[in-house]
A and B are shown apart, each in its own frame.
Chain A
């Protein structure tokens, strides 16, 4: 018999995530998957299972679940309190939750999204090769609600290569690496310079689609004032600049095309860090050349 996970309280938002569904941009489907892929990967590795095994992504913690049978699991990502039937349990390492016991995740001390990986993974409907949930695009299973029960997959024998990871490398003021372009020439020189010299702040306008930043307004170069960009493809990490000059960093569930020029793109690995920004959190950018130049 396979195990089950029943949601007692999903907290502000909990979704099923794997590493997404690449390859469908041509029909308007972004890759999606865990907003912070590195943390889901880590949680799965600590259980000794495949990186892309489906787990849960919580937003600001608050998740409470009950397992039908004893289940090994692991919490990683935004560091938070972990409790089993009220007793403190370890964050960032494999823990065994007894059958019928309640596992609770507290509100993270820093960061936005914590990940719960479960031995054997979670079952959810597969769409375009993935169980990843993109709520704004109605892709995959909708966000979990109290009372939902998910079946667990068959767990392999527990034999991790990695036993413990404190996950504590959380800089108070993270710096994300960017590559300038594709549309740097649409903006004036001072604005381009400010992108890497200013301290940006995450606003409350954030979700799995993107995060709007507050800082010195990014202005168009004179030659491009009022100009419209024909819709062009976007990637995770694209820093779009709408006419008001406040940039938006696109995340996992970004639109595949967009009409606002992109001044720079956050490197693939660092989009995971940007996805952990909470409203009011600072972030800085550091430019590197593209790998092919």
Chain B
């Protein structure tokens, strides 16, 4: 675990692997030290943002006592988290008619039907969020399951409609609102994944399980 400086109010913690990251973020969210304003996960990092430089000093002291976040947070092992999250699988009814579906399937050396079948048979989990409010980066929930790395568009589209189901890198995602974007669009859903005025604004929170269901 490495603690990297990030200004006078935050630190970035680099951890060994995804399990350690999830364990550390969950630990900090369930029992936040005084003055912690925000805990944000990246692919291999956890950001801890505090209200003041004094709070930050104390948080860093606490973090330094954690050698292995998994040992420090045995009560919230990723397995336990997965069991929690699995109780609430978000089903996403999807029409697979995206403008990039055919060309992407060809690029991957398979049929469009084959790619759709793989996308719908897979169980996904929100790894972390970012890019836009309510945008979740979904990875296969079984890390052993093969899923291709998909290149982003060389020139991003100026406007991707809300509800677009897309692929990029090793991820899949759902555009929560209309925005410019460079992910490959394979389908669309009517499901609302983001409403800033709702009691629960985001559906795709880290740890949430997701399945895509093909709609004719």
Select from chain B the residue with minimum beta-carbon distance to A233.
Answer: B47
A127 and B201 form a contact (CB under 8 A)? yes
Secondary structure class of chain B's binding surface, majority of residues: mixed
**Contact partner, B40, options A25, A179, A238, Cβ 8 Å:** A25
**Contact partner, A22, options B37, B61, B129, Cβ 8 Å:** B37
Contacts of A25 in B (CB 8 A): 38-40, 47, 49
A27 and B8 form a contact (CB under 8 A)? no
Shortest Cβ distance from B59 into chain A, in angstroms?
8
B40 and A257 form a contact (CB under 8 A)? yes
Among A127, A183, A266, A290: residue with most chain B CB under 10 A = A290
B132 and A139 form a contact (CB under 8 A)? no
Contacts of A139 in B (CB 8 A): 133, 196
Select from chain B the residue with minimum beta-carbon distance to A269.
Answer: B8
Known: A22-B37, A138-B177, A292-B60. A235 touches B131 (CB 8 A): no
Contacts of B206 in A (CB 8 A): 26
A66 close to B (CB within 8 Å): no
B5 and A182 form a contact (CB under 8 A)? yes
Known: A22-B37, A235-B10. A128 touches B201 (CB 8 A): yes
A128 and B5 form a contact (CB under 8 A)? no
A291 close to B (CB within 8 Å): yes
Among A138, A233, A237, A266: residue with most chain B CB under 10 A = A233
**Contact partner, B45, options A232, A255, A292, Cβ 8 Å:** A232
Contacts of A128 in B (CB 8 A): 196, 201
CA distance A125 to B134 in the complex (A): 19
A24 close to B (CB within 8 Å): yes
B131 and A255 form a contact (CB under 8 A)? yes
Shortest Cβ distance from B64 into chain A, in angstroms?
9
Interface residues of A in 231-266 (CB under 8 A from B): 231-233, 235, 237-238, 255-258, 262, 265-266
**Contact partner, B8, options A238, A257, A290, Cβ 8 Å:** A290
Known: A23-B37, A128-B196, A257-B128. A230 touches B44 (CB 8 A): yes
Among B6, B11, B39, B43: residue with most chain A CB under 10 A = B6
Interface string of A153-187 (1 = CB under 8 A from B): 00000000000000000000000011111110000
A293 and B5 form a contact (CB under 8 A)? yes
A256 and B40 form a contact (CB under 8 A)? yes
Contacts of B8 in A (CB 8 A): 177, 179, 265, 267-268, 288, 290-291
Contacts of B12 in A (CB 8 A): 182, 232-233
A60 close to B (CB within 8 Å): no
Among A138, A182, A262: residue with most chain B CB under 10 A = A182
CA distance A144 to B169 in the complex (A): 38
Interface residues of A in 137-153 (CB under 8 A from B): 137-140
A-B contact pairs, 27 of them (CB 8 A): A22-B37, A23-B38, A24-B38, A26-B39, A26-B40, A26-B128, A27-B201, A28-B129, A28-B132, A28-B134, A31-B38, A126-B197, A182-B12, A230-B43, A230-B44, A231-B137, A233-B12, A233-B40, A235-B6, A235-B49, A255-B131, A256-B40, A256-B130, A257-B129, A257-B130, A266-B7, A268-B9
| A-to-B contact residues, CB < 8 Å | 22-29, 31, 125-128, 137-140, 177-183, 230-233, 235, 237-238, 255-258, 262, 265-268, 288, 290-293
| B-to-A contact residues, CB < 8 Å | 4-12, 25, 29, 37-47, 49, 53-54, 56-57, 60-61, 128-135, 137, 177, 196-197, 201-202, 204-206
